[in-house]
A and B are shown apart, each in its own frame.
Chain A
C-alpha cells in the first residue's frame, strides 16, 4: 500500500457516498459524450444513447470493477471492525462506562506516578538548551569522587575542545540577615550559559569574578526576594548581611529559576567570594580545595564518551604527581538536562513503585477481561457462525482486539484526567499534613505539569492493558468446535471457568498483598509512635558553632545570663551515632554499639538518671579519661546478669572511623537509664556507650537549657553570639526530640501507609466488583444444574453453600499466595527499616480477614439469587 493508495482508500471510507456519486457522474459523463458523438455521426437521440451504452458494456459491472481496483485491504477491514465495535458499544453503554472507568482508575494511578518521575528526572529544566549540559566529576584511585579547583576550572575552560562553554558552581549555605538560606557560588559565566535573565537589576557577569574577595555582590532568587524581602522594588543596591559580611544585592533572577540541582538555591554570589563562605582557607594544608562542580555545554560533534576520555586523560595528567587519594582514575560526565540526573538506581526504584501501583491496573484488567469473556461467550454463537462461514481465526481475533483497543482510548483520556486530579490532590494533602520539620521538602518539589511524555506514557500503558485484557477473551472465544457449532451448540469448548477462577484468585492475591503490607507499615509506624522518648528537651537549645569560633562561642555562652546549663555532645540524643565494635575486657565477643561523647553536664541537662555509679567529672571530660558510662541495655548485653560497674571495656573502632574514638580500654564508672540511642527508624536499640568530652572539644554540638520561652531565649542567644562573630553560628534551634519522633520520623511511614492502604482499598473495591460479576455469571450459567439439584431435594442452604464454597475456594487460594508474597515484600522492607516486623501476625490476620470477609459478602448476593431459583421453571426450560 503506497501513500496515494492509502489516501484514496481513506477517502473512499470516510466520504463513502461522495466517492460513489463521483464515480457515477464520471461514467455518466462518458456515456453522454459518446452519445453526443453518435448523434454527430447521424443517429437519433435514443439510438445514440443506446449505442453508447452497448459499446460501454454494463455500467454496474464497470463501476464494480472500479471499486475492485481499490480492493479490500487492511484499512477497510479495520474500518469495518471499528464500525462494528462502535455499534456494539452503543447497545451497551453501561458496559462501556464500567470498562472505561475501571481502566481509567488504574491508569490514572500509574500516570500520576509517572508525572512525578517525569518532572524529576525527564523533563528538561527551564534553562537554555538543557540537553547539552553535562556536569563533570572525577574518581580518584581509592574510589572517592571529587570536584575541581579554581585553577583546574580555568584550565578546563581554556583547554577543553569538547565544550563550547562552561561554568563552575558550588553549593553553600549561609544566614542572610539572620535567616538560614541555601545558595550557589557561581562563576561569571553561570547566568549567560544557562540563559537566565534578571527580573530586577542584573545577574552576575564575568567581571564579578575578576579578583578573589573583591566583589561582595549577590543575586537573589525570585522566591527569596518575594518571601524574605516582600518583593521590595528597591532591593537592588541594598546591602544584606550574608554570613555576617555585607553583600550588595545587584539583582533578582527571573521567576521560577532556582539553580540546577534538586536543592533550590535562594541566592547566587561570585565564586571568588568563596573565602567568605568556608573556613577552608584557614586550613594548614596549602593545596587548593577541589570544591567546584563544572558544568559545560557539550558540542554536538562530540559524544559524551569522547568528552569523557578527553577529560580523563587531562585530569590524569594533572594529578599524576599526587598520592592515590588525589590521583584521577577516571573522569565522568552526567547529564544536567533534568531536575535530577537519571541514574539506573532511580529507574529501578521508580519501576518497583510503579509495579506496586500497577497492581491496581492489573486487577482492573482482570475485571475487564472477565467482563469481555462473559460478553464474548454470549456472542459465541455469532462468532461460531462467522468462523464456520470461513472467516479466519486471525480475522476474528483482530476484531475482538479492535474492540479492546477502542475501549482503551477513552480510558486513556479519562486516566489522564484521573492522574491530573490525583497529583493535584496529593500535593494539597502533602502540603496540608507535612510536619514543619520537613516542610522544606515541598519547596524542592519540581512543578508537576503533565506534558507530551506523560501523555505518551498513558497511551502506551492503555494500549498495553488493552492487549492484556483483550487477548484472553479473543483467543478463548475463537476456539470453536465446528462439530458442535454445526449441531447448533454454540457453548464454549474450552474451560473458561478455570481462566476466570485464576483471574479472581490473582485479584485476591494482590489485595491481600497490598493490605497486609499496609497493615505491617501501619503497625511499624505505630511502634515508632509508642517509643518512649522521655528525654527532657523542653527548654533545650542546640547550637552548632563554626569551627573557627567554637571556643569563643563556648566562652560567650558560659557568660550568658540566660543560659542555665551548658552541655556538649558529639551527637544530639536520638540522632544517628557512630557505631563501634566493643567487647568486655574479660569477654571475646565483639558487639557493635552506638557511642557518644558527652560532657559531664549532659546527664543533668537531659535529665537522664544514673542508676548506679557516677557521672563524669570535669577533669575526666577535659582529659578524655579512660572511663565510660554505659546504658542499662548495653550493660546487660556486655555482662549479662552481672554487675557492670568497675569492669573494663575495650573499644575497637574500625580504622578510618571517627578519629576521636581511638582504640583503648576504659573503665565503666556509671550505669545510665536506657534512652533511644539511634535513629528511630532502626528501632528501639537502646544500648549506648558514653565517653567523656568537654564543651571546648572540636566538633562538639552545644546544648543549653534556658528558663522561660525557648524561642525568646534562642533569639537572645543568637544576638549575643553575633557579637562574638557574625558568622559564628552555623545552626541554632530549639531541640525537639519528641516532635521529631512524632513528625519527621513518623511522617515517611505515614505517607507509605496511606499510599499503600489507598491503593489496597482501591484494589479491594475492584476485586469485589470482579468477584460479584464472576459469581453472578457462574450462577446464571449453572441455573440448570442448580434447578435439578433443588428438584432432587437440595435445600436453599445447600445451594447457597454450593455457590459460596466455590467463591471462597478461589478467595482462599488468593489469600494464601497473597500472604506469602507479603512476607517476601516485608522481609525486603525490614532489611531497610528494622522497625518493620516481617512476621507481624496481627497484620497478616487482619489483612487476610478483611479480604476474605469482603469476598464472602461479594459472593453472598449471587448465592442468594441461586437459592431462589425455581426448579420448575429451569426444568421446563429444557
Chain B
C-alpha cells in the first residue's frame, strides 16, 4: 500500500459513490470498492465491512438491483445495476453534495 494517507468515507457519502460507480456499468461488490479507490487515486478507502450492508440497504430502497452473473474470471458473482429510481436518487444526492461542498469551500476561503 502506498504511504499516502487515506480517508475513511463518511456515513452517507458511501451511498452516493456506490450509485455513481454504477451509473454506467454493472459491477459486483469487490469491483465497486476497487473502482472507488482507483478513481480517487487511492485517497478514498472503502471500508469493505460497511460496503455490503450499504449495498443491501440500497437494494431494499429500490435504487439498485442485483442479479447473478459471471465475473471476468469465470466465477459466479452478484452484479449490481442502477434502477430508474436509483438514477433519480443519484441526481438528487449529487446535487446536494455539490451544494454542500461548494458551501463548505466558500466558508473555508472567506471565513
* Residues of A near any B CB (own CB < 8 A): 2-5, 8-9, 22, 25-27, 29-30, 32-34, 55-58, 61-63, 65-66, 68-70
Instruction: Give chain A residues whose Cβ lies under 8 Å from the Cβ of B77.
Output: 26, 29
Chain B nearest CB, measured from A7 CB (Å): 9
Instruction: Give chain B residues whose Cβ lies under 8 Å from the Cβ of A34.
Output: 30, 48
CB distance A55 to B48 under 8 Å?
Answer: yes
Chain B nearest CB, measured from A8 CB (Å): 6
Instruction: Give chain A residues whose Cβ lies under 8 Å from the Cβ of B53.
Output: 62, 65-66, 68-69
Q: List 5 A-B contacts (CB under 8 A).
A: A5-B61, A26-B77, A57-B47, A63-B52, A66-B53
Which residue of B has the minimal Cβ distance to A8?
Answer: B60
Which residue of B has the minimal Cβ distance to A32?
Answer: B75
**Bitwise interface map of B from 55 to 70 toward A, beta carbon under 8 Å scored 1, else 0:** 0110111100100100
Given contact pairs A29-B75, A62-B53, A69-B53, enumerate 15 new A-B contacts (beta carbons under 8 Å).
A2-B61, A4-B65, A5-B62, A22-B78, A27-B52, A29-B29, A29-B30, A30-B48, A34-B48, A56-B49, A58-B49, A61-B49, A62-B49, A65-B52, A69-B56
Chain A nearest CB, measured from B93 CB (Å): 17
A56 and B62 in contact (CB under 8 A), knowing A22-B78, A30-B30, A66-B53? no
Q: How far is the CA of A33 from the CA of B30 in the complex (A)?
A: 7
CB distance B49 to A8 under 8 Å?
Answer: no
Q: How far is the CA of A101 from the CA of B21 in the complex (A)?
A: 60
Instruction: Give chain A residues whose Cβ lies under 8 Å from the Cβ of B65.
Output: 4
Does B109 belong to the interface (CB within 8 Å)?
Answer: no
CB distance A66 to B48 under 8 Å?
Answer: no
Instruction: Give chain B residues whose Cβ lies under 8 Å from the Cβ of A56.
Output: 48-49
CB distance A26 to B60 under 8 Å?
Answer: no
B: number of interface residues (CB 8 Å): 24
Q: How far is the CA of A22 from the CA of B67 in the complex (A)?
A: 11
The 9 closest A-B pairs by CB, nearest first: A57-B49, A4-B62, A65-B53, A69-B56, A33-B30, A69-B57, A5-B60, A26-B78, A66-B56
* Residues of B near any A CB (own CB < 8 A): 28-30, 47-50, 52-54, 56-57, 59-62, 65, 68, 71, 75-78, 83
CB distance B52 to A70 under 8 Å?
Answer: no
Which residue of A has the minimal Cβ distance to B75?
Answer: A29
Instruction: Give chain A residues whose Cβ lies under 8 Å from the Cβ of B61.
Output: 2, 4-5
Q: How far is the CA of A165 from the CA of B28 in the complex (A)?
A: 64
Q: How far is the CA of A848 from the CA of B10 in the complex (A)?
A: 80
Instruction: Give chain A residues whose Cβ lies under 8 Å from the Cβ of B57.
Output: 69
Q: How far is the CA of A34 from the CA of B71 in the complex (A)?
A: 14
CB distance A2 to B48 under 8 Å?
Answer: no
Q: How far is the CA of A22 from the CA of B29 in the complex (A)?
A: 13
B29, B30, B83: residue with the most chain A Cβ atoms closer than 10 Å: B30
Which residue of A has the minimal Cβ distance to B65?
Answer: A4
Q: How far is the CA of A66 from the CA of B53 in the complex (A)?
A: 4
CB distance A29 to B78 under 8 Å?
Answer: yes
CB distance B52 to A29 under 8 Å?
Answer: no
CB distance B29 to A69 under 8 Å?
Answer: no
Instruction: Give chain B residues whose Cβ lies under 8 Å from the Cβ of A3.
Output: 62
Which residue of A has the minimal Cβ distance to B57?
Answer: A69
Chain B nearest CB, measured from A761 CB (Å): 57
Q: How far is the CA of A400 from the CA of B75 in the complex (A)?
A: 48
Q: How far is the CA of A27 from the CA of B85 in the complex (A)?
A: 26
Q: How far is the CA of A375 from the CA of B71 in the complex (A)?
A: 56
Instruction: Give chain A residues whose Cβ lies under 8 Å from the Cβ of B52.
Output: 26-27, 30, 62-63, 65-66
CB distance B56 to A29 under 8 Å?
Answer: no
Which residue of A has the minimal Cβ distance to B72?
Answer: A33
Instruction: Give chain A residues whose Cβ lies under 8 Å from the Cβ of B30.
Output: 29-30, 33-34
Instruction: Give chain B residues whose Cβ lies under 8 Å from the Cβ of A55.
Output: 48
Instruction: Give chain B residues whose Cβ lies under 8 Å from the Cβ of A9.
Output: 60
Chain A nearest CB, measured from B86 CB (Å): 10
Q: How far is the CA of A26 from the CA of B59 in the complex (A)?
A: 14
Q: How far is the CA of A401 from the CA of B65 in the complex (A)?
A: 36
Q: How far is the CA of A61 from the CA of B50 in the complex (A)?
A: 10
Chain B nearest CB, measured from A637 CB (Å): 86
Contact of A4 among B47, B54, B60, B78 (CB under 8 A): B60
Q: How far is the CA of A55 from the CA of B33 in the complex (A)?
A: 12
Which residue of A has the minimal Cβ distance to B49?
Answer: A57
Contact of B48 among A4, A22, A57, A69 (CB under 8 A): A57
Contact of B59 among A4, A25, A32, A58 (CB under 8 A): A4
Q: How far is the CA of A58 from the CA of B52 in the complex (A)?
A: 12
Which residue of A has the minimal Cβ distance to B62?
Answer: A4
Q: How far is the CA of A5 from the CA of B56 in the complex (A)?
A: 10
Instruction: Give chain A residues whose Cβ lies under 8 Å from the Cβ of B56.
Output: 66, 69-70
A8, A9, A63: residue with the most chain B Cβ atoms closer than 10 Å: A8
Instruction: Give chain A residues whose Cβ lies under 8 Å from the Cβ of B62.
Output: 2-5
Instruction: Give chain A residues whose Cβ lies under 8 Å from the Cβ of B29.
Output: 26, 29-30
CB distance A29 to B28 under 8 Å?
Answer: yes
Instruction: Give chain B residues whose Cβ lies under 8 Å from the Cβ of A58.
Output: 49
Q: How far is the CA of A509 from the CA of B92 in the complex (A)?
A: 67
Instruction: Give chain A residues whose Cβ lies under 8 Å from the Cβ of B28.
Output: 26, 29
A8, A27, A33, A58: residue with the most chain B Cβ atoms closer than 10 Å: A33
Q: How far is the CA of A25 from the CA of B77 in the complex (A)?
A: 8
Chain B nearest CB, measured from A18 CB (Å): 11
Q: How far is the CA of A69 from the CA of B56 in the complex (A)?
A: 6
Q: How far is the CA of A68 from the CA of B57 in the complex (A)?
A: 9
